[in-house]
A and B are shown apart, each in its own frame.
Chain A
Amino acid sequence: MAAQVPTAYYLVLAAILFSIGVGSFFIKRNLITVFMSIELMLNAVNLSFVTFAHQWHEVKARSSSSS
C-alpha cells in the first residue's frame, strides 16, 4: 500500500481554506466577492464533514453538506 494520508491533513487543509475565506470576507470591497468568500468557507466546512464521515464510516454527516 502506498503512503497514506493522515486524516488530520485533510482537516488542516479545510482550516486553511476556511481562514482564507475569513480573510477575504474581511478585505473584499465587492458584494459578489464577499459572497464568493462565504462560499469558500462553506466548502471548507464541507470538506471537514466529508473527512469525518470517512473516518467514522458513517454516511450521515455527508448528507448534511449543502450550500
Chain B
Amino acid sequence: MQLALFIIFGALAVAGALNLLLQRHPINSALSLVVVMMSLAVLYWSLGAEFLAAAQVIVYSGAIMVLFVFVIMLLNAGKEEKTSGSRAAYIAGFPGAAAIFCLLSFVFLSEQKALGVANLGGHLNSGLNNIEELSRVLFTKLLLPFEVTSVLILVAILGAVVLARKEDQ
C-alpha cells in the first residue's frame, strides 16, 4: 500500500517537476507545479502528517498557485523567447544541480540502515491527534519562534506596502 502510493505519487511529482522545467509558457509551469504540490500532499499524508497535507492542499495549491496564476495573467507573460541562455547557467547550473543530487542521494542511501523504514500513518496510529499534538508543541516549546515568525510576516507585509506605494509628487 505504502510502496504503491510512494511509487505512483513520487513518479507524478517528478514528472510534474520535469514538466515545470521543460515547458516554455509560464501558465503550463504553474499548472504542473500544482500537480507536484498535490502529489506531495499525498506523500505527507502517507507519512502521518495529515494536518500538513490538508494545509498543503489549501495553502499551496489553493492560495499560492492561484496567486501565481493571477500574476501571470495580469502581467500577460507570454512564451519565453528561445535565447541561447547564459553560458554560466549551463556550465555551472546543471553540473551543480547534478552534484547536489549525487551528494544527497549518496549520503541518504549509504545511511539507509540507520534511517529505517516508514510505515503508513507513523506513530500517530496510536490514537494521538495530529492537530492537538502540533498545537501543543507550537504554543509551549516553540512559542518564541512562532511569534518571531509572525513578526517576520509583518515585516514582509510592510515591505510590500512600501514597495507598492505610489510616490506622490
Enumerate chain A interface residues (CB-CB to B < 8 A): 1-13, 15-30, 32-33, 35-37, 39-40, 43, 46-47, 50-51, 53-55, 57, 59-60, 62-67
Contact = CB atoms under 8 A, between A and B. Distances in A.
Nearest to A46: B40
A39 B6 CA distance: 21
A53 B123 CA distance: 10
Nearest to B82: A29
Contacts of B18: 20
Contacts of B8: none
A5 B6 contact: yes
Contacts of A19: 97-98, 100-101, 104
A9 B73 CA distance: 37
Interface in B25-45: 26, 29-30, 33, 36-37, 40, 43-44
Given A6-B115, A54-B47, A40 B52 contact: no
B118 interface: yes
Interface residues of B, number: 68
Given A8-B108, A54-B118, A33 B26 contact: yes
A39 B40 contact: no
A32 B77 contact: yes
B58 interface: no
A59 B71 CA distance: 35
A51 B134 contact: no
A17 B36 contact: yes
B117 A27 contact: no
Given A6-B118, A59-B133, A59-B134, A22 B26 contact: no
| 5 shortest interchain CB distances as A-B pairs | A26-B93, A19-B101, A15-B104, A22-B97, A7-B115
Contacts of A33: 20, 26, 29, 80
Interface string B99-110: 011001100110
Interface in B82-135: 83, 85, 89-90, 92-94, 96-98, 100-101, 104-105, 108-109, 111-112, 115-119, 122-123, 130, 133-134
